[in-house]
Structure formats: C-alpha cells, structure tokens
Amino acid sequence: MTHDRTMESVTFCLLKTLLIFSIFNSVTSADDWPQWLGPERDGVWRETGIVEEFPPQGPSVRWRTPIDRGFSGPAVANGRVVITDRKLGERQANPDNPFERGTVPGTERVLSLDVADGSVLWTHEYDCVYTVSYPAGPRTTPVVSDGKVYTLGAEGNLFCLDANNGDVLWSRELKKDYHIQSPVWGFSASPLLDGDRLICIVGGPESVVVAFHKDTGKEIWRALSAIEPGYCPPMIYEAGGKRQLIVWHPEAINSLDPETGEVYWTEPFEVRSGLTISTPRKLGNLLFVTSFYNGPMMLQLDPSQPTASLFWKGDSNSEKKTDKLHSIMCTPFLQDGFIYGVCSFGQLRCLSIDTGERIWENLEATGSTGDVRSRTDRWANAFLIKNGDRFFLANETGDLIIAKLTPQGYQELSRAHLLEPTNPMPGRDVVWSHPAFANRQAFMRNDEEVICVDLAAHSAIE
C-alpha cells in the first residue's frame, strides 16, 4: 500500500513537472529573425511574453559588442547574430560631403556573434574600395538559412559563407560579373531567398534582378532592364493564383515568376533620383509603394490572374508639398483598411487605404518639430514593427518606442533611449539601421556597437 502511494506520488510529481515544463516551454519558445523584416519578411514580430511598457530606468541591455560603421541591420538565427560593417583604411577618411563619390580604400566585414553574450565567433573580412555616396558601410541585412549566411556589400560583393565558421562557400562580384557600376548609394536591396534561388537586385541590361543558385552561386535567370536598379528589396506575394516576385525599380513596378524570371506585368512609375527604397506592401489585393519625391502608388491585383491596374496615385511630386505619403526608407504598414508610415520630414501618418486620404499625422515618434520649410530633419525616420496589437518603433535618435497606431491617432505607451546616434552624414547624428527582434530581445546597432536588449515580460515566465 505504501509502495502504491509512493508510486502515485512520484507519478503525480512527474506529471506536474512535465506540465510546468510544457507551459514554460510554450511561453519561452523563441523566434529567430533570419532576414530583412523577420521570418516572414513582413515586419511582424510574432513572439509573445513581451513587455507592455519599459521600466523607469529602461530595459536591460544584456550585452554590447564594438563594431564599425554601417547601415545594415542584424540577422538572428540559430544562436548567432550576423552583422556587417566597414573599416576604413589606414589614414583614410570619408569625404566631408557625403554626396561626393570618391575612392576610399577600406574593408567590409561579416561578423558572427554569440547571441548569449555578444562574443565574436568568427569574422570574414575582405578589401572593398568604396565609390558610393553616403559611404558609411554596408546596407543590406544578411540572410541566414540551412547553415549558410548570404551577404551583399555596398559595392556588390555577394558572399555565401558557412554559418559555423565563416568559410567562403561561393562568391560573386556583381560589378565585374555584370559590367556595371555601383548605384549612387550602393547595393542596398536585401537579398531574398526563395527555394534554391537567392534573388538579388543587380542592375544593367536584362539584369536588374538576378536569381543565383543558393548552393553554387551559378546564375539561374536574369530579367528586366532599367537605367538604374534602385534600392528596393524584392518581395514575393501571392495574387491571381500565382506567386509573384515584385521588383520595383525607378521606372516601373514589375511582377515576375520567381522560378523563371518571366514577367507577368509591368506598371510604369517614374521615380526621381532612382529613389525606389521602401519595401512594397500588400494587403488583400492591394499593393502599395511609396517614394520620397514622387509619393505613393496603390495598385489593385487581379484575384484570378497575374495582372494589376492602377487603384490610386499621389498627386504631388514634391517632398515638401506632400499630399499622401512620401517615404524615404520607412517600410509602411497596412492593416484594417489603413496605411501607417513616415513621410519625407518625419511625419508619422495614417492614410485611408482606399483613397490615400490623410487621416492624421504626428511628429512625436521621430522627434521632428516645426514647419517643413524651416526644418533641418529632412529624411527623419522611424522603423515600424508590429507586435500583437501595438508597434515597436525604432527611431533615428536611438529611441525604442512602444505605441498603438489606430485611425484614432498615435498613442505612445512607453519610450527608452537605447543607442547614441553616431552617423553624421545627413547633417545631424542619426541611427539608420533596422533592428532585429528575436528571443524576446531587440538587436540594434549604430556605427560603434551592436546591442542586445531584453524585452521579455519576466512576470509571464516566473
């Protein structure tokens, strides 16, 4: 009898332990951030158990690791943080005028860090003479998948590296291979991995977009011609019964078959200064793009075949006299019939998705002030990441903000200053690097360090 009761007690304790472990594991399971805009490339952070507001002293910074200059965001996957940067050559300096295209020796680096403590696990460094405007460093977010790291530098150095040790598995020099020059602001479109294809924005006749085999670097297909390739990340959306690869260059928005490069449709859209930057966004059968000078365009995708038609377009070609949304680098967010994004001088705006009509604007998130004609915060920016029913906004002053964005307005819930703005190129010190959100943490960088910030709601797992 005693033996039976003992066994019952042991069994009960075991079941209780397993239940607690199951609950704990379901709460603490973590997501990675292995590419531009996260796991599904949509700017949504799907982890739960995240802080509702920051403590008075701000969230805890778990570690800080020194790095050099760069605009590129981090990727987080399989216990590693992958980040790229640039080191200037000895006795070298960037031009005083950031618009100047000089010839500045230096190196680009790919660094792999331990997600637990920020220690450097390996570094791949290569010579890279910069000829681009705004020459702070690399622009694109790495892609991490199946034990490989894919990176694209500002001068077109494309690498596939072993994620464990940084060994080069294959590489391409896009300028040499495609007989092109670097775009004015460098190769800036974060690559897209789709099946066996690594899809990159390249440039040149019939090679604005090129698909490389992810394991060998061999070209699979190339497509599209334009005077400039632009800077916009390629995206894949389903519409009209097809998976459509959306490529937006400064002459048109294009839809292609991602497996073959066949062009499904093209909608002309002339964009000044080659500034196709902001990521195209889709909601239902609507596809939205926005540019700094020429404003936005909304397309309607046919539900039964891969075609598109103009739904509406902005009326202004001025970044100062804006009527809808003129974004420079912010990826807008579309939800519940509305568009949220940052305009040309830092105006966080809400628009009607049906007409583009402005519902409201707010300057608090980016810290912009005053009349647009007298302000110096041209290109002021904040990156928008959705988490549950609120957003995390990382602005150019180094603040991280928790806010709700609704048609009723901007509701700031909490704010913490986490990074010092260190890039002086726009005439003021800024942070222009998209953060990553993984393992209930934020990973953010400036030109001096990358940091890991604890954003877990600890009460949820205690």
Provide the pLDDT confidence category of residue 102 given band limits of 50, 70 and 90.
Answer: confident
Of the candidates 461, 383, 453, 411, the one whose C-alpha atom is nearest the C-alpha of residue 55 is: 453
- What are the structural domains, with CATH classification, of the chain? 72-187 (2.40.10.480)
- For residue range 108-159, what is the model confidence (pLDDT) as tens digits? 999 999 999 999 999 999 999 999 999 999 999 999 999 999 999 999 999 9
Average pLDDT over residues 64-73: 98
Of the candidates 433, 405, 428, 404, the one whose C-alpha atom is nearest the C-alpha of residue 418 is: 433
Tell me the whole-structure pTM to 2 decimals. Answer: 0.92
* Adjacent-strand bridge partners of 276: none
Q: Is the pLDDT of residue 165 over 90?
A: yes
Average pLDDT over residues 55-81: 97
Q: Is the pLDDT of residue 5 over 60?
A: no
The 10 Å Cβ neighbour count of residue 426 is 17
For a pLDDT cut of 70, what percent of the chain falls above it? 91
Q: Which pLDDT value is given to residue 55?
A: 95
Q: In this structure, what token pair is assigned to residue 250?
A: 């400064």
100's CB contacts (< 8 A; 6+ apart) are 133
Per the CB < 8 A criterion, the answer to whether 402 and 450 are in contact is no
Q: Which pLDDT value is given to residue 458?
A: 77
Q: Which pLDDT value is given to residue 376?
A: 62
